[in-house]
Amino acid sequence: MPIKPPVTELPINVAQQGFYEGFTKDVTITGKLAVGALIFWAIAFPAHAASVLQAVNGMILATFSYWYVYAMAFFMLLCFGLALAPVSGKLRLGLDDDRPEFSNFSWFSMMFGAGIGIGMLTFATAEPMYHFASNPATIMGLTEGGAANNVRDAYIWSFTHWGFAAWAAYAVVGLSLAYFCYRRSLPLTIRSALTPLFGKMLSGPLGHVVDVVAVVATVLGVAQTLGFGVEQFIAGLARIGVGDWLYATGPDGETSSSTLAIILALVVIMGASTLSALSGVGKGIKWLSNLNMGLSFFLLAFFLIFGSTFFGLTALFVGMFDYVLSIPGTLFTVWTRDGAEVGDALANWQGGWTIFYWAWWIAFAPFVGLFLARISKGRTVREYVLGAMIIPSVMCFVWFALVGGTAIDLELSGVAGGAISGADQSDQLFAMLAVMLDDGLALLMSIIVVVLLLTYLVTSADSAVLIINTINAAGDEGPKARMHILFWGAALALVVGGLILAGGLGAIRTAMVIGALPFSFVMVLMGLALIKAIYRDSLRLRHGLPTTHAAVVAAE
């Protein structure tokens, strides 16, 4: 039976003139309508939106917990399998003579900025502290919350959520896009990764649906990230003395960010990010990336020198050892409600943490994955997978161990006196700085954190706008019409603001879990398509047939 040649052409109709010149109207307009409808619903009918989103979220957690857990396990096993298999590991993401465009250091630095960023500032303190107080081991009575014997379990789950599985989700999307774009010369857009399964059918409505799902998932995934960042930005402004008006007390006595503070934060963040996106990758985004990289290493060095260094380094190495040993169990475990107190508590914990994270990484995967593909041309599959999964994971572990470890040590030793554990999630990093330093130095470091947070927020938002436009433009990074950049910048701000006003960060979390579900199916299909493509390429190599296709560049 002859081996069919791979699909090397995927024509996607784009407008040749007018407002949508260079863009796929079906994808762009549908995506705008979907996001616009969500914004209108959240702002015009906040109570109804919150209740419906919560009901759908409950249904998803009850029905699709197994799906999310097993899908993430599939991504992780697939990545390591492709990297370690001799046939696939040596394949190059590009033509045979292509070599990496960026040095290893630059490549690692860009991956660090793309996938970690804001999360480190919020969760490097908050997540170890939360799991130190409560995790499955404490629920089952194996350890005591807030005690020294619970530190190791706290880091097992912190590393589980931010480790190999998270980066496997990003790596699958990036690997699929890079493989089909640089080896097949297909457009750098999500639908291209499904060509081994659906062929040229993806030029039409099926492909449009895939790209629209990716756009909506990206908006909601980035909105979740921006939502956490906005809350922490407001907490930082309060710490440096901007004013009491940043917070409001509701009828139930609960204190939360005021509407005015949310609007101010979003105007500053999205205004700066839109200006950066308009300036392009080579100017605004590059300058901001360099700034936040420098400030990130400064902050990390501060905790390495002045934090609980021995405690943090012990947590790092013991935590990594425990984490690796725990992977076979944590990767496939699903807790479901069984009517018993412990069983229901475990299911609630997993839904609020692990399932939430898996949905977040899946929703964020089109954004980070497309970026990883853009910077990885010329690398082998083995080099790409191991670099894109292990190095960023270890950087996450370092942050969690040094920053979160300092917070835990200050609480264990009694120095903090509950000041860190009693603070809101968005305020815990600032609370720790206040415990560690005198008022003047704490103010200075808080200002540095606020500036770093702002640069990460702006970088994430402007990069997301450009990635969304790349998908809408059928993979062409060229057309970035000013009005489309302004629209998506405003849309992101309104999604974040509307959902926060509708139900706080919980509303964003709920919308994101729902939005990630359709794209999780797309990602599983991407993984299956990649397996099929690599298998077929191995047969072509065995028969001396070409496995790559160079794009034909038209003469000017």
| DSSP calls for 397-463 | HHHIIIIIHHHHHHHHTTSSTTTTTTS-GGGHHHHHHHHHS-HHHHHHHHHHHHHHHHHHHHHHHHH
Among 188, 75, 207, which Cα is nearest to 477's? 188
Which DSSP letter does residue 253 get?
Answer: S
pLDDT digits (tens, 9 = 90+) for 328-356: 988 899 998 888 889 999 999 998 899 98
State how far the Cα of 506 lies from the Cα of 512, in Å rounded to an integer.
10
Question: Which of 130-139, 256-265, 472-481, 526-535 is least confident?
Answer: 472-481
State how far the Cα of 184 lies from the Cα of 14, in Å rounded to an integer.
20
State how far the Cα of 283 lies from the Cα of 281, in Å rounded to an integer.
6
Q: Exposure string (b/e) for 39-68, b if CB count within 10 Å is 16 or more?
A: bebbbeebeebbeebeeebeebbeebbebb
Local confidence band at 305 (pLDDT 50, 70, 90 cut-offs): very high
For 18, other C-beta atoms within 10 Å of its C-beta total: 8
Instruction: Give the pLDDT score at 555.
Output: 34
Burial of 287 (0-12, 13-18, 19+ CB in 10 A): middle
pLDDT digits (tens, 9 = 90+) for 225-251: 888 888 888 999 999 988 788 888 777
Give the H/E segment covering residue 366. Answer: helix 356-375
Give 73-118 as a 3 state SS string. Answer: HHHHHHHHHHHHCHHHHCCECCCCCCCCCCCHHHHHHHHHHHHCCH
Q: Which of the pair, 61 or 469, is modelled with greater confidence? A: 469
Among 399, 200, 205, which Cα is nearest to 315's? 399
Q: Residue 168: pLDDT above 90?
A: yes
| Residues sharing a CB contact under 8 Å with residue 438, sequence separation 6 or more, in sequence order | none
Question: Which of 238-242, 294-298, 379-383, 475-479 is least confident?
Answer: 475-479
Whose structure tokens read 């898996």? Answer: 358
Local confidence band at 502 (pLDDT 50, 70, 90 cut-offs): confident
Instruction: Give the pLDDT score at 2.
Output: 67
| DSSP calls for 117-183 | THHHHHHHHHHHHHHHH--HHHHTTSS-TTSGGGHHHHHHHHHHHHSHHHHHHHHHHHHHHHHHHHT
Give the H/E segment covering residue 2. Answer: none
Q: Which of the pair, 9 or 479, is modelled with greater confidence? A: 9
Give the pLDDT mean for 67-93.
92
Q: Residue 556: pLDDT above 50?
A: no
Question: Which of 179-183, 245-249, 381-385, 552-556 is least confident?
Answer: 552-556
Instruction: Give the pLDDT score at 294.
Output: 79
CA distances from 250 to 256, 368, 426 (A): 8, 37, 18
Computed over every residue of the chain, the mean pLDDT equals: 86
SS3 for 474?
Answer: coil
Q: Residue 553: pLDDT above 60?
A: no
Give the pLDDT mean for 253-263.
82
Which DSSP letter does residue 336 get?
Answer: -
CB–CB of 424/432 below 8 Å?
Answer: no
Task: Give the number of residues written for the chain.
Answer: 556
**How much of the chain, in percent, has pLDDT values that exceed 70?**
93
Q: Which of the pair, 409 or 114, is modelled with greater confidence? A: 409
Q: Residue 552: pLDDT above 50?
A: no
Which DSSP letter does residue 480 get?
Answer: -
Residue 197 has, within 13 A of its CA and on its CB side, a CA count of 17
pLDDT digits (tens, 9 = 90+) for 107-128: 777 776 665 666 778 888 999 9
CB–CB of 188/176 below 8 Å?
Answer: no
Q: What is the CA radius of gyration of the chain?
A: 23
Local confidence band at 436 (pLDDT 50, 70, 90 cut-offs): very high
Instruction: Give the pLDDT score at 537.
Output: 87
SS3 for 92?
Answer: strand
CB–CB of 167/388 below 8 Å?
Answer: yes
Give the H/E segment covering residue 539. Answer: helix 482-542
CA 507 to chain centre: 18
Q: Residue 280: pLDDT above 80?
A: no
Instruction: Give the pLDDT score at 282.
Output: 46
Q: Which of the pair, 137 or 552, is modelled with greater confidence? A: 137
Read off the tokens for 34: 């979907």
Identify residue 76 by its one-letter amino acid code: M
Residues paired with residue 72 on neighbouring β-strands, in sequence order: none
Sorted by where each starts, the structural domains of the chain and their CATH numbers stand as: 25-542 (1.20.1740)
